[in-house]
């Protein structure tokens, strides 16, 4: 399928698909963030670098906090309550605790990068702070969610639980959860 005819993003009626799509957008921003330092070394804070920095800032300032709240307040507790159901993975409670504990650390790492990205976005800097460790930690975090958590949720959560999760995610964003 061409980029022009890409399938629409999942809606709140598919909360697991929506979480996965959010992971995809995070990875796109991480890829851009990895390319930004070499670009800055070659071209300085040109229009392309400024636009890239603004897009990274916008995503991690606006969408990422909702994503963490979706997981910490609704998704992880819902999944933990499904313990013992057919298809359950005994290692998941520890994994949920680990992932929830990583969210504040990832947010702190983001705040450490944010100021230098604002400088680039404003055309005032030709370098950003060391992002490699934060990028690696974020990628590892997402990989665990994609490989272990989302597949488990698809196996053990009921349609009613998924509907409630979608409604909570929509409410967090102040939108109607009804499919459109």
Crossing angle, helix 92-121 and helix 15-43, to 10 degrees? 40
Query: Which domains are present in the chain?
Result: 12-172 (1.20.120.520)
Q: Whole-angstrom Cα distance, residue 25 to residue 23? A: 5
pLDDT at 150 over 60: yes
Q: Are 154 and 148 in contact, with CB atoms under 8 Å apart?
A: no
Position 168 scores a pLDDT of 97
Supply the Cα-derived Rg of the chain in whole angstroms. 18
CA 157 → CA 19, 80, 143, distances in Å? 15, 10, 20
Residue 158 has phi, psi (to 5 degrees) of -85, 160
- 51-86: per-residue pLDDT in tens? 999 999 999 999 999 999 999 999 999 999 999 999
Position 8 scores a pLDDT of 79
Q: Predicted confidence band at 6 (pLDDT cuts at 50, 70, 90)?
A: low
Six token digits for residue 28:
């796109």
- 79-114: per-residue pLDDT in tens? 999 999 999 999 999 999 999 999 999 999 999 999
pLDDT at 179 over 60: no
Percent of the chain having pLDDT more than 90?
89
Position 5 scores a pLDDT of 63
């Amino acid at each position: 399928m061409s980029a022009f005819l890409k399938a629409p993003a999942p809606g709140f009626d598919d909360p697991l698909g929506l979480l996965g799509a959010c992971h995809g957008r995070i990875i796109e921003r991480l890829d851009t963030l990895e390319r930004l330092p070499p670009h800055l070394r070659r071209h300085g804070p040109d229009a392309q670098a400024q636009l890239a920095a603004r897009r990274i800032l916008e995503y991690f300032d606006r969408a990422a906090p909702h994503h963490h709240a979706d997981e910490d307040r609704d998704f992880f507790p819902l999944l933990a309550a499904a313990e013992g159901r057919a298809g359950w993975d005994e290692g998941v409670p520890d994994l949920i605790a680990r992932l929830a504990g990583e969210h504040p650390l990832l947010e702190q790492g983001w705040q450490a990068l944010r100021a230098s990205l604002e400088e680039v976005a404003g055309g005032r800097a030709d370098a950003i702070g060391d992002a490699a460790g934060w990028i690696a930690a974020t990628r590892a975090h997402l990989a665990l969610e994609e490989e272990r958590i989302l597949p488990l949720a698809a196996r053990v959560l009921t349609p009613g639980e998924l509907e409630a999760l979608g409604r909570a995610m929509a409410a967090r964003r102040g939108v109607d959860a009804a499919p459109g």
